[in-house]
Structure formats: C-alpha cells, structure tokens
Amino acid sequence: MPLASPVQLRSRLPDVGTTIFSVIGQLSAAHNAINLSQGAPNFPCDPQLIAGVTRAMEANHNQYAPMTGLAALKTALAEKVNTLYGTRYDDECEVLITASASEGIYSAISGLVHPGDEVIYFEPAFDSYAPIVRLQGATPVAIRLTVPEFRVNWDEVRAAITPRTRMIIINTPHNPTGQVFDRADLDALAAITRHTDIIILSDEVYEHVVFDGKIHHSMATHPQLAERSVIICSFGKTFHVTGWRVGYCLAPAALMNEICKIHQFLMFSADTPMQYAFAGYMADPTTYLALAGFYQRKRDLLRTLLADSPFRLLPSAGSFFMLASYGHFSDEPDSDMVQRLIVDHGVATLPLSAFYSDATDNNIIRLSFAKDDATLRAGAQALCQVNPRGPR
C-alpha cells in the first residue's frame, strides 16, 4: 500500500489528474490492443545511430555536455536551418540543445512568460501547453481551430489579443490534426504581431514530416517572425528515437538568454553520447530529408487499408497522425468510442476531445501511422470490422 502522509498540500494544478493517455494505455495493455494511439514509432532506428552512441560512450564522452549543447551539433543545426529555411542562427548563443522538445517548451514558457500575462494557443492542442502557462501564474487563452478543416481564424486571433498578451503558441505540422501552416498563415501572424512585444513559440517537432510535395513553413523562413520566435524541434521525432529525449531550440540571442537561465537549472545539459551520435549522423542530409516520403508512404498505406471501414478519414498534410470521423454512424462520445474499439476490436486510438481543455467532442478519433506496416495492417483490419450502430 502507498505511504500515508500527514502533509497538507495545495496543488499547483488541482484539476490535473490521470490523463486520457494513461487511461487508454492501461486499457490497451489489459486487452493487448494494437497500438494506433501513441505518436511514437514501434520500429527500430538506424543502427548507425546506436553505433554512434556506443562509440561516444566507449570514447568516454559520458560526462556533462556543455550547458547549451555540444558545439559540433549546434553548428550542424545552424547550417541545416540556414540551408533549409534561410535564417542563420549564431550557433554559440542562438542554438540550445534541450533534454527533449518538452523541456524546450517548458524552458521557453517559464523563461519568457510572467504572472498576469496571457498566452494564446490553438485547440485541439498538445496537452502540455496550457498547464505550463498556468504554472507561471499566466492565463492560457484557447482559440479553436475551425472544424473540420482545422485552420486558424486570424480575425479571432486579432480580437483575442490584449495588452497582456505575451505569447502565441503555434504547432506546425500539427498534433493532433495533421494540418500545416502555409505562407498566408505566416503573413497573417506577422501582421498581427507587428509593432508588438508578442513572442511566438513555434512547436515544429514534425518539421521534416510534410506530405504531398509541400514544404514546411518554419518561423525561420519569415524574417519578421524569426526575430520574435522561439522554435522547438525534436531529434526523437526525426530519427525514430523518442525515448532518447533530445531536442533543440532556436531563438534570437535576447530571448535565448532568458531560456537558458531556466534550462541550466532544470536540466543543465542534454545527454552527451546522444549529442555526439546526432552530430555525426546529420552529416548526411538524407537522414532527415527522406523522412517526408517515408511517412507519406505509411499515411497512404493506412488510408488505403481503411477505404472500406465505416470511418471517414480527414486529410493529413503532415505529422504522424490522421483524424477519422464517425458522427455519420454514431453519436456516442469519442471517449466511449475509443474504449469500445479497444475492448471489442482490440485496437487503440485516441479521442480528439482529449486535446481540448473543455473536452469538446466532435465525434473524431486520432490515428497514428508511425508504426511498422504489420501493425498498420492489423489495426486497419480491426477498424474495418467495426459495426456501425446506425445513423444519428
């Protein structure tokens, strides 16, 4: 039994309990369900990466890395970003290696947002944004993406800005919807933030997973946005090693200085052997430039396999995810639908309502195609066997 404690607590996040992700994970394990829920690959990474980590360990690179990251890795990143997006970041003071993209997001919000500030973000959203904002004594302001296109209404954003607005959080390619920003979105964001002190926090962890010949419109591609943006990216998502927990952050020096003040006390530095491995691996640009084609084939495979299912698939322009709607054949809550799929059909997905602060239910579930082909085939076969409960 757990230990009892006489300490009286006052929670910083009193309304945060066990997330739906944990609930789904436990239920999936109990039913040995096929995992189409988690945004983490179930296939191995390139053995060259493992060999790189092994070489670093054997060479005794097992102590703390420099606080802001290994110099060779930061230089490689600065060169990559300049080549792909046209902005040159100073690798000494504008590139930070973080202990996961999540740590980068936390350090950026904690370092740049103050009590009383407001932070605009878009729902459905990755679940950590709002709690981190609240932990700073600031107010998260949710703006809903349009349904079913899941686009930003920039007029709503403009109307939501107040003198207290300190930050706007964006995520492109977007989790959970799979949508991406285009140039018009960047121009609209630039127009709204021009002549303000608003900071853009841009979650770009799926930067290399954009489909159908489109390009990733990073904040680094837009000079006006680059000068006020903190960009967060992930080695784990790019190189199929989410468990290694290494990411990176790009920002103008003045912003980065504040972020590093948090990072140095939160983590000090990211794992050293992994940084050596990434620095060597990035010497070949195809290691990340081939990623879009790799995941597009998986997206297309899952879409083809689900052609005869009762679900209607929404477009996916990037990321590891696609959405599937079922409101045309059932009005059961999406959390119930997800649990039914696990218990009755042995396949795990996620309810889109889990990505809304008020659990908005659009009768849509999220599927992950970051899986090996056998898992995609088995999961799709299970979803094709779902018997509709009848029209709404």
Nearest-10 crossing angle of helices 47-58, 272-281? 130
Rounded CA gap, 233 and 31, in Å? 34
Percent of the chain residues topping a pLDDT of 70: 99
Ramachandran quadrant class, 86 (left: phi over 0; alpha: psi -120 to 50; beta: rest):
left
Residue ending a domain, among 287, 304, 335, is: 287
Convert the pLDDT of each residue in 103-135 to its tens digit. 999 999 999 999 999 999 999 999 899 999 999
CATH number of the domain within which 349 lies:
3.90.1150.10
Provide the mean pLDDT of the chain: 95
Q: Is residue 4 part of a domain?
A: no
What average pLDDT score do residues 17-34 get?
85
Band (20; pLDDT cuts 50, 70, 90): confident
- Structure token digits, residue 304: 């083809």
Place of tokens 């080549």: 83
Q: Is residue 197 part of a domain?
A: yes
Q: How many domains does the chain have?
A: 2
Residue 333, preceding peptide bond in cis (omega within 30° of 0):
no
Q: Is residue 62 part of a domain?
A: yes
Does one domain contain both 155 and 190? yes
Q: Is residue 304 part of a domain?
A: yes
Does one domain contain both 270 and 298? no
* pLDDT recorded at residue 392: 36
* pLDDT recorded at residue 388: 80
Band (9; pLDDT cuts 50, 70, 90): confident
Convert the pLDDT of each residue in 145-203 to its tens digit. 999 999 999 999 999 999 999 999 999 999 999 999 999 999 999 999 999 999 999 99
What average pLDDT score do residues 18-40 get?
87
Convert the pLDDT of each residue in 295-307 to its tens digit. 999 999 999 999 9
Report the SS3 class of residue 367: strand
Residue ending a domain, among 263, 287, 311, is: 287
Kindly report each contact of residues 327-331 with a partner whose C-beta sits within 8 Å and lies 24 or more positions away, as own/partner. Answer: 327/362, 327/363, 327/364, 327/392, 328/391, 328/392, 329/388, 329/389, 329/390, 329/391, 329/392, 330/363, 330/388, 330/389, 330/390, 330/392, 331/363, 331/392
Kindly report each contact of residues 373-379 with a partner whose C-beta sits within 8 Å and lies 24 or more positions away, as own/partner. Answer: 373/298, 373/301, 375/34, 375/35, 375/36, 375/42, 376/36, 376/298, 376/301, 376/302, 376/305, 377/305, 378/34, 378/347, 379/34, 379/35, 379/36, 379/302, 379/347
